[in-house]
């Protein structure tokens, strides 16, 4: 029964110790979710982290620990803020056990082959038994404890039954060998998971340990978490920028590739914002801290990767449910093979019992349960290297099946910075620009601001109007040096009886200017298309994904951008609610839709899309509502995110199919009498798990 009080619920995260089975982790997560008072629980095996949402997670920890230990009796949970002890000692102890057990096993085989035990076979059996107990003592002990709890379908119990059964039918060397290679496989699997986890977190965790704080004329090193907003820190050439801030002194090049995926460095000087995680490449700079460590970009990226790893895709949930019935089915098949088949065929029991024991060896579904979340975890880690932050595995799964990509125009396809593109009229261009800039001098509209900026860049200082009247939705009427000046849309001029005599307007927003009742010229203001937009759209089109653009701008401006980039359809003059309606129409026509935007007005559409993606340079509301965030704000990240999602989903499916196919093939070989062998069964269990891990990890290195 879950708590009904969600208002006070908080989420706390715990590091997991002594859990080496992905299938056991899935069982523990389910049991903890059912504890009274727990609103939600998420266990990430790749991260070795448990997240518990409750009124007071720490108060529930005794009950959580007790529940978890019904599945794994040595498991422990440590608050994440506490540093875990190094795990090298455990690996060393495991390695020593394996070496001793293997030495006893090899000694028994070699001495037996030399005929040393011809007259005293009991010595060989004793050596093998010693090797078996050294290697499998822990497995037998855990299996015994689990039996007392009524837990029989776990890997320890199944491995114990399989190897003790081999002893019972006098296959002593094989029983010890299977236990040896099972333990070796488990160790390698554990190391591989830890290394892959470490590699991903190393890429995602760019948090600094220390910063160089400037105090008067001195520079002292302090812990990064002690740096406060307003502190001035020194960032030397080659150093990673530790915290988000603003340059107050110095000029340099900034390598943003670790955060945004953008390979080209950017110039930065006093007054420019810098984000943590980027690398200072050329000159020393002094930076004023704008965000503490917990709020800086490096922490947000790490938190995003960790949170994404906890959000499980549908295929993961399916595999977890499948694993619950897989082991009982295999055990049932083993029992039928051992006792029913020889009775029906009136054959010998020995070969069928041996075959049944091989089935028990590979009846643990760990390879299946581990391979899917690890594949998505690696995909999330790979995406973070390109500045693409997914908010969960389910997002990647949905993105892999996207049929259409719909984009906002301003700030997404275009730069979001208006600039004067053309000036034309009956007066000199400078005179036309001076009139327009004077009328727009106090304007807060982006178009007006761009006209004033352009004038000043050309050395024109606008005159202060004697009077200004803003005419809503149409433009401005001003008196400048005694003359009435109109600056605005064609409607403004027509309403004042002024005829426009000029060639057709160019793409963009056209501002018309009249002086003393006569048309004198026009200024065309347009937003530049992002450099990677056309390439991104071309990649989407090649992939068979439909493209469309939604904007509140004029139809002519929208069509110009669409033509320039190759976007199939442009829908213009839309309000935020209209965008959502249009998105639903596109979804009805094409199928699942991804929407990419950056503004506050895009938040409803981002939330309403199958997958919402926000540009990292956009509004916080848009980033919060999005499922994917593109830190570099580059349109080329859109097809890249889809490609990564498709590759990740494909690898997850490959792992599932491969693991099941090998296990089924080995079972068929055994049950048909073609080939039955415990060594092959060990490969079908731990060997397949290792291959699935390696298949997942290759996602980190895909171009």
239 carries an active-site annotation: no
- SS3 at position 430: helix
Residues sharing a CB contact under 8 Å with residue 263, sequence separation 6 or more, in sequence order: 257
SS3 state at 93 = helix
Residue 57 to residue 161: CA distance in whole angstroms: 38
Give CA–CA dist 587/651, Å, rounded: 27
Q: Quick check: helix, strand or coil at residue 523?
A: strand
Of the residues 20, 231, 244, 408, which is catalytic? 408
Read off the tokens for 59. Answer: 């108060």
Long-range contacts of the stretch 195-199 (C-beta < 8 A, 24+): 196/46, 196/374, 196/377, 196/378, 196/693, 196/696, 196/697, 196/700, 197/46, 197/47, 197/48, 197/377, 199/381, 199/697, 199/700
For residues 297 and 285, give the distance between their C-alpha atoms in angstroms, rounded to a whole number. 19
CA 612/CA 602 separation, integer angstroms: 10
446 and 518 Cβ atoms separated by less than 8 Å:
no
Strand 593-597 with 404-408, pairing: parallel
Residue 240 per-residue DSSP state? B
Catalogue the E-assigned strands of 186-317.
Answer: 210-215, 218-223, 232-235, 245-249, 251-255, 266-269, 273-274, 279-280, 285-289
Helical H segments across 366-510, by residue range: 366-385, 393-399, 429-439, 446-457, 490-495
Q: How far apart are CA 25 and CA 355, in angstroms?
A: 29
Q: Tokens 């390439």 belong to which residue?
A: 535
Running DSSP on this structure, what letter comes out for residue 699?
G
3-state secondary structure 596-643: EECCHHHHHHHHHCCEEEEECCCCHHHHHHCCEEECCCCCCHHHHHHH
Q: Are strands 285-289 and 279-280 parallel, antiparallel or unpaired?
A: unpaired
Instruction: Give the active site residues.
Output: 408
């Amino acid at each position: 029964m879950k708590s009904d009080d969600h208002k006070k619920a908080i989420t706390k995260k715990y590091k997991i110790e002594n859990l080496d089975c992905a299938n056991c982790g899935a069982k523990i997560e389910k049991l903890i979710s059912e504890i009274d008072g727990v609103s939600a629980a998420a266990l990430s095996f790749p991260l070795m982290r448990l997240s518990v949402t409750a009124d007071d997670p720490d108060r529930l920890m005794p009950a959580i620990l007790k529940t978890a230990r019904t599945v794994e009796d040595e498991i422990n949970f440590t608050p994440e803020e506490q540093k875990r002890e190094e795990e090298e000692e455990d690996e060393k102890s495991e390695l020593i056990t394996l070496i001793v057990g293997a030495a006893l096993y090899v000694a028994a085989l070699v001495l037996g082959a030399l005929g040393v035990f011809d007259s005293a076979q009991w010595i060989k059996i004793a050596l093998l038994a010693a090797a078996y107990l050294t290697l499998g003592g822990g497995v037998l002990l855990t299996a015994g404890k689990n039996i007392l709890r009524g837990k029989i379908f776990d890997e320890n119990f199944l491995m114990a039954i399989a190897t003790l059964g081999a002893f019972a039918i006098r296959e002593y060397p094989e029983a010890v060998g299977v236990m040896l290679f099972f333990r070796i496989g488990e160790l390698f699997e554990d190391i591989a998971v830890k290394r892959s986890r470490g590699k991903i977190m190393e890429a995602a965790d760019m948090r600094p340990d220390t910063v160089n704080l400037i105090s008067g004329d001195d520079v002292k090193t302090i812990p990064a978490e002690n740096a406060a907003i307003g502190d001035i820190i020194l960032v030397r050439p080659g150093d990673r920028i530790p915290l988000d801030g603003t340059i107050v002194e110095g000029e340099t090049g900034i390598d943003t590739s670790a955060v945004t995926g953008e390979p080209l460095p950017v110039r930065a000087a006093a007054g420019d914002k810098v984000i943590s995680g980027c690398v200072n490449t050329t000159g020393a700079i002094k930076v004023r801290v704008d965000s503490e460590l917990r709020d800086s970009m490096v922490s947000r990226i790490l938190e995003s990767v960790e949170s994404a790893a906890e959000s499980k895709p549908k295929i993961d949930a399916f595999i977890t449910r499948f694993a619950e019935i897989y082991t009982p089915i295999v055990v049932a098949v083993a029992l039928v093979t051992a006792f029913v088949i020889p009775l029906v065929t009136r054959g010998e029991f020995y070969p069928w019992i041996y075959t049944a024991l091989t089935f028990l060896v590979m009846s643990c579904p760990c390879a299946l349960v581990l391979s899917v979340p690890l594949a998505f975890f690696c995909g999330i880690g790979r995406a973070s290297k390109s500045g693409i932050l997914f908010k969960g595995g389910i997002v990647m799964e949905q993105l892999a099946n996207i049929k259409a990509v719909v984009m906002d125009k301003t700030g997404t396809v275009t730069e979001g910075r208006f600039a004067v593109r053309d000036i034309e009229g009956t007066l000199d261009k400078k005179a036309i620009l001076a009139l327009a800039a004077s009328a727009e001098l106090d304007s807060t509209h982006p178009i007006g601001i761009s006209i004033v900026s352009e004038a000043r860049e050309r050395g024109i200082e606008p005159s202060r109007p004697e009077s200004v009247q803003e005419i809503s939705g149409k433009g401005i009427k001003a008196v400048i040096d005694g003359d009435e000046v109109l600056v605005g849309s064609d409607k403004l001029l027509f309403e004042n009886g002024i005829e426009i005599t000029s060639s057709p307007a160019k793409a963009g927003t056209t501002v018309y200017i009249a002086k003393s009742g006569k048309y004198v010229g026009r200024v065309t203001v347009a937003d530049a298309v992002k450099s990677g937009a056309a390439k991104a759209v071309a990649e989407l089109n090649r992939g068979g994904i439909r493209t469309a653009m939604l904007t509140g701008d004029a139809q002519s401006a929208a069509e110009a951008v669409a033509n320039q980039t190759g976007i199939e359809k442009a829908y213009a003059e839309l309000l935020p609610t209209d965008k959502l309606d249009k998105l639903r129409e596109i979804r009805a026509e094409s199928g699942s839709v991804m929407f990419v935007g950056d503004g506050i007005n895009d938040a409803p559409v981002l939330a309403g899309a199958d997958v919402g993606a926000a540009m990292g340079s956009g509004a916080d509301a848009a980033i919060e509502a999005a499922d994917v965030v593109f830190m570099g704000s580059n349109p080329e990240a859109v097809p890249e995110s889809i490609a990564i999602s498709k590759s990740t989903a494909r690898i997850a499916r490959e792992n599932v199919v491969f693991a099941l196919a090998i296990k089924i093939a080995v079972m068929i070989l055994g049950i048909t009498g073609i080939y039955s062998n415990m060594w092959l069964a060990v490969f079908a269990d731990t060997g397949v798990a290792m291959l699935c891990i390696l298949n997942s990890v290759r996602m980190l290195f895909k171009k």
